[in-house]
Structure 1
Amino acid sequence: MIDLYFWPTPNGWKISIMLEETGLPYTLKPVDIGAGDQFKPDFLAISPNARMPAIVDHDTPDGPTPVFESGAILLHLAVKSGELMPTTARGRKECLEWLFWQVGNLGPMAGQLSHFVNYAKQVEDTDHGYAHRRYAGEYNRCLGVLERRLADRPFILGDAYSIADIICFPWVLIAKPLGQSLEEFPKVADWRARIKDRPAVRRGVDVGKDFRRQGPHTEAAKKVLFGQTAKSLPA
């Protein structure tokens, strides 16, 4: 059994989709980031970065094993299940390249763009024009990288759907709310549609939907979520 520490965001969907695709049994453990649950000692023992997703795998030879960071979790689950990752040396190499590309490029750029689209004006009444344009441009550039990669293949690694697709999909799924049309990226749009139509993906995106925030953050939540520094972590 796997405990999934989760809040319904694109980062969380990566892992819920993977669990639904593989059929590995899991228990959902909601972590309310607006309430500061991510800073509780029990959660920090699992995820020292105070971020989700994170898991605890109770079925390993070493006993309960915590794993944090989405790329590491997807690798762990792919190895555990024997699914959704190539078995050849070259295939594994390419899989790792695109996994690291997402965690170093597409994910951070989209996440920061989301902040300036959705939250910056809630925190302070300041013109964040340059920051917004910077991350919008980088997100657009990343979509261009994906478009080139998908020019002659249905999935990132070729004919086979893999964790490389799973890790990239959620931040492309929400392109429109981030202000980015996919009209200039037809291959990405087709890839997105292929993945979105998968039943396990639909189930994964629906995980925790009852916890999704409705409306703006409360003032208390803003104090927890925004302006964090090292001092935000408990002693």
Structure 2
Amino acid sequence: MIDLYYWTTPNGHKIAIFLEEAGLDYRVRPVDIGKGEQFQPDFLKISPNNRIPAIVDHAPAEPGAPVSVFESGAILLYLAEKTGRFIAPDLRGRIETLEWLFWQVGGLGPMAGQNHHFVQYAPERIPYAMDRYVKETGRLYAVLDRRLSGREFIAGSYSIADMAAYPWVVPWERQGQRLEDFPNLKRWFEAVAGRPAMRRAYELAHAINPQPVMTEDARKVMFGQDAGTVRR
């Protein structure tokens, strides 16, 4: 059994997608980040960066105590290695999968996240910042579109690279993008969206948080953190 500490964000979706794809037994431990539940001491023991997702695997491959993992990329890699699925078994294929996994966690996710912040949530509109991150999101979409030319999935077979990237493309309209401008990406996006496990993962999100709303209190919790937040 795996405990999934989760909220309905792109990074949270990644792990729900893997668990559904692999058919692993798991139970969801919701962590409402708008209410500050990510600062609870018990959660910080397994996720010291006070971010979701995190997991606790009560049946790890090696004997001993349960294994906790935080950071979505690390969790995807852990689960792929645990199950032997969704990562290529050969050296070159594994490298490709990891390259594109890290491309997402180091590029697409952070840049699209800043896009979301400055376009959707910032208390003042800063044209330079908005333009900067919308353009960079578009550049990354173009990189992925080029990668998908002649390929069904990002790293050959369907893998953790696809699971990592897909949730960050779901809000493409809010990111100021048009899928029609990226035909290879659009084809891939529609194929991934149609997977039964993908639908189940997003049904889970809707069941847990059916009407996501950014309240003023949530804004203060999520965007008011600094070093003092960690120290207190």
User: Which interval holds the TM-score relative to the shorter structure?
Assistant: over 0.9
* Secondary structure of 1:28's aligned partner: strand
148, 151, 157: which one aligns with 1:150: 148
* Secondary structure of 1:87's aligned partner: coil
TM-superposed deviation, 1:215: 6.3
Paired residues of 1:74 and 1:163 also in contact (CA < 8 A): yes
Paired residues of 1:39 and 1:234 also in contact (CA < 8 A): no
Taking only the aligned residue pairs, the percentage that are identical comes to: 55
TM-superposed deviation, 1:230: 1.2
Query: 1:39 and 2:36 equivalent?
Result: no
Q: Number of residues paired by the alignment?
A: 230
CA deviations over 1:97-129 (Å, ceiling 9, x no partner): 111111110110111111122211xxx3x2311
TM-superposed deviation, 1:155: 0.6
Superposition map of 1:49-128 within 5 A? 49-60=49-60, 61-120=63-122, 124=123, 126-128=124-126
Superposition map of 1:174-189 within 5 A? 174-189=171-186
Paired residues of 2:73 and 2:102 also in contact (CA < 8 A): yes
* Secondary structure of 2:27's aligned partner: strand
With a CA cutoff of 8 Å and minimum separation of 6, indicate the structure with the bigger relative contact order: 1
Looking at structure 1, the residues matched to 35 and 210 of structure 2 have their Cα atoms a distance apart, in angstroms, of: 12
Looking at structure 2, the residues matched to 215 and 93 of structure 1 have their Cα atoms a distance apart, in angstroms, of: 37
TM-superposed deviation, 1:184: 1.1
TM-superposed deviation, 1:222: 2.0
Looking at structure 2, the residues matched to 220 and 166 of structure 1 have their Cα atoms a distance apart, in angstroms, of: 31
Amino acid at match of 2:17: I
Amino acid at match of 2:172: A
* Secondary structure of 2:24's aligned partner: coil
Aligned to 1:15: 15
> In structure 2, do the counterparts of structure 1 residues 168 and 215 end up closer, same or farther at CA, with 3 Å as the change threshold?
closer
Paired residues of 2:137 and 2:175 also in contact (CA < 8 A): no
Q: Which runs of 5+ in 1 are unaligned?
A: none
TM-superposed deviation, 1:227: 2.4
Looking at structure 1, the residues matched to 14 and 75 of structure 2 have their Cα atoms a distance apart, in angstroms, of: 9
Q: Which runs of 5+ in 2 are unaligned?
A: none
188, 200, 205: which one aligns with 2:202: 205
Tell me the TM-score normalised to structure 2 length.
0.95
Paired residues of 2:4 and 2:55 also in contact (CA < 8 A): yes
TM-superposed deviation, 1:209: 1.5
Looking at structure 2, the residues matched to 164 and 54 of structure 1 have their Cα atoms a distance apart, in angstroms, of: 18
TM-superposed deviation, 1:223: 1.8
Aligned to 2:25: 25
* C-alpha RMSD of matched pairs (Å): 1.3
TM-superposed deviation, 1:208: 3.1
Looking at structure 1, the residues matched to 162 and 218 of structure 2 have their Cα atoms a distance apart, in angstroms, of: 32
> In structure 2, do the counterparts of structure 1 residues 215 and 18 end up closer, same or farther at CA, with 3 Å as the change threshold?
closer
Amino acid at match of 1:72: A
TM-superposed deviation, 1:234: 4.5
